[in-house]
């Protein structure tokens, strides 16, 4: 297979894209790597039909990576994930509009071009979580406890472009990060950046069936093949607060090989953006009961 990976400088040494590329090369595939953030791009010649079996995007939001991927899709190349699906989740305002409309359990979400507009949000929605619409990795996420604190926080919220604001979902301080790769769902527990004092060891956990169903629905709603979902266990059940295309897959066993296999499968079938299998939850090996001696296999 001939693949082209778009990798931002930010992820240059990151285990995820680097290990996946190494694995693909070790299996005998050709991988070209484009670093859109660090190179002058000759856009008029950058894509050509039939040049690769698939283009794969692992970049930060807001960079030129998605533009390149869209160019590849426009000339008929397979992209991982589907370029329109990536757009649908990288803008958190768009993701909320699509997700809520398609029945995902997501908080009511407001979008504001400038922080002053947040003052119009009803008092009953506070405490609010405010985050940049194109944010990632917890950047700029902050808790606004009450309307009267808003004015004092405007300076801190300004200059981040479009903001989204949601009522704070009461939770234990632990995020459930659900990863989908190759039709399998894995769950990891991680401390919420809004509760940094809540020391929880990051580890793979059993995925509750109710959360697995929501995570599977996320793939279908946005048309994503490789993705991550941040879920909070709120008082009324699981709530989706964030969806990521090509996440870290941290704690997923043999993540690089699994992601590499999934990329090859998508490149081979030329299909991206319309998962036709319902992803299944995978039980961490550590909690699979030991085989009893003499038990039937
Ligand atoms: N509405 C919310 N209620 C409670 N906590 C939230 C809410 N939205 C986000 N958080 C917390 O903030 C973290 C970062 O927000 P998220 O939307 O995932 O942005 P990022 O793209 O930066 O990861 C989440 O993992 C979660 O712990
Ligand atoms: Mg997140």
Show me where the domains of the chain are located: 2-90, 108-167, 174-286
**pLDDT for the residue 150:** 95
**CA of residue 230 to ligand 2 center, whole Å:** 6
Which parts of the chain are beta strand (E)? Answer: 2-7, 30-34, 54-58, 79-80, 110-112, 128-132, 142-144, 163-167, 174-181, 184-191, 203-205, 227-234, 237-245, 280-281
Q: List 180's β-bridge partners, or say none.
A: 185, 227
CATH of the domain spanning 174-286: 3.30.470.20
Q: Is 138 in the pocket of ligand 1 (CB under 6 A)?
A: yes
Prediction pTM value = 0.93
Q: Over range 193-214, report the average pLDDT.
A: 93
Which ligand has the nearest atom to the CA of 106?
A: 1
Q: What is the pLDDT of residue 63?
A: 77
Pocket test for ligand 1, best of 230, 238, 246 (most atoms within 8 A of CB): 230
- Tell me, what's the pLDDT at 16? 85
- pLDDT at residue 297 is higher than 50: no
pLDDT of res. 295: 42
State how far the Cα of 126 lies from the Cα of 227, in Å rounded to an integer.
30
Ramachandran angles phi, psi of 209, nearest 5°:
-55, -40
| pLDDT per position as a tens digit, 259-296 | 999 999 999 998 766 566 789 999 887 665 544 444 44
Ligand having the closest approach to the CA of 140: 1
Q: Give strand ranges (E) for 82-154.
A: 110-112, 128-132, 142-144
Report pLDDT for 61.
Answer: 74
Residue 119 has pLDDT above 60, yes or no: yes
Pocket test of ligand 1: the residue of 242, 246, 247 to mutate, having most ligand atoms within 8 Å of its CB, is 242
* CA-proximal residue: ligand 1, atom 27 (nearest): 192
> What CATH class has 108-167?
alpha beta
Q: What does the pLDDT read at residue 59?
A: 82
Q: State whether the beta carbon of 143 lies less than 6 angstroms from ligand 1.
A: no
Burial of 66 (0-12, 13-18, 19+ CB in 10 A): buried
Question: Is the CATH code 3.40.50.20 the one for domain 2-90?
Answer: yes
What's the confidence (pLDDT) of residue 197? 86
Query: For residue 113, what pLDDT is reported?
Result: 97
| Ligand lying closest to the C-alpha of residue 175 | 1
If pLDDT is split at 50, 70 and 90, which confidence band does 154 have? very high
Q: What is the Cα–Cα distance from 251 to 248, expressed in whole angstroms?
A: 9
Specify the 3-state DSSP secondary structure of 37. helix
Percent of the chain clearing pLDDT 70 (strictly above): 93
Coil, strand or helix at 255: helix
Same fold across 108-167 and 174-286: no
Q: What is the pLDDT of residues 55-93, one digit of tens each?
A: 999 987 777 899 999 999 999 999 999 999 999 999 999
| pLDDT tens digits for range 243-252 | 999 999 999 9
Taking the centre of ligand 2 as the mean of its atom positions, its distance from the CA of residue 233, in whole angstroms, is 14
Averaged pLDDT of the chain: 92
- Spell out which residues have Cβ within 5 A of ligand 2, the ion: 230, 242
Give me the percent of the chain exceeding a pLDDT of 90: 81
Does residue 196 line the site of ligand 1, with CB under 6 A? no
Choosing from 90, 137, 192 the residue with most ligand 1 atoms within 8 A of its CB, the one to mutate for a pocket test is: 192
pLDDT level of residue 39 (50, 70, 90 thresholds) = confident
């Amino acid at each position: 297979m001939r693949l082209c990976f778009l990798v931002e400088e930010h992820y240059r040494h990151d285990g995820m894209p680097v290990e996946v590329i190494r694995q693909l090369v070790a299996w005998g595939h050709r991988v070209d790597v484009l670093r859109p953030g660090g190179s002058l791009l000759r856009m008029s010649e950058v894509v050509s039909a039939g040049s690769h079996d698939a283009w794969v995007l692992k970049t930060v939001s807001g960079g030129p990576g998605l533009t390149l991927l869209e160019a590849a899709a426009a000339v008929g190349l397979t992209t991982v994930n589907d370029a329109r699906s990536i757009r649908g989740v990288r803008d958190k305002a768009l993701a909320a509009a699509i997700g809520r409309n398609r029945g995902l359990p997501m908080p009511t979400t407001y979008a504001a071009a400038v922080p002053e507009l947040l003052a119009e949000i009803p008092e009953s929605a506070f405490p609010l979580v405010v985050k940049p619409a194109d944010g990632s990795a917890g950047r700029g996420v902050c808790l606004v406890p009450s309307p009267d604190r808003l004015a004092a926080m405007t300076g801190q919220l300004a200059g981040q472009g479009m903001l989204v604001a949601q009522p704070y979902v009461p939770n234990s301080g632990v995020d459930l990060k659900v990863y989908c790769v190759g039709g399998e769902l894995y769950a990891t527990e991680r401390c919420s950046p809004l509760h940094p004092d809540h020391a929880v060891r990051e580890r793979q956990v059993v995925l509750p069936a109710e959360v697995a169903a929501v995570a599977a629905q996320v793939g279908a709603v946005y048309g994503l093949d490789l993705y991550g979902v941040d879920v909070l266990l709120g008082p009324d059940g699981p709530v989706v607060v964030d969806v990521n295309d090509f996440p870290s897959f941290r704690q997923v066993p043999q993540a690089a090989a699994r992601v590499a296999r999934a990329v090859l499968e998508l490149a081979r079938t030329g299909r991206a953006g319309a998962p036709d299998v319902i992803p299944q939850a995978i039980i961490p090996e550590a909690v699979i009961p030991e085989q009893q001696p003499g038990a039937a296999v």
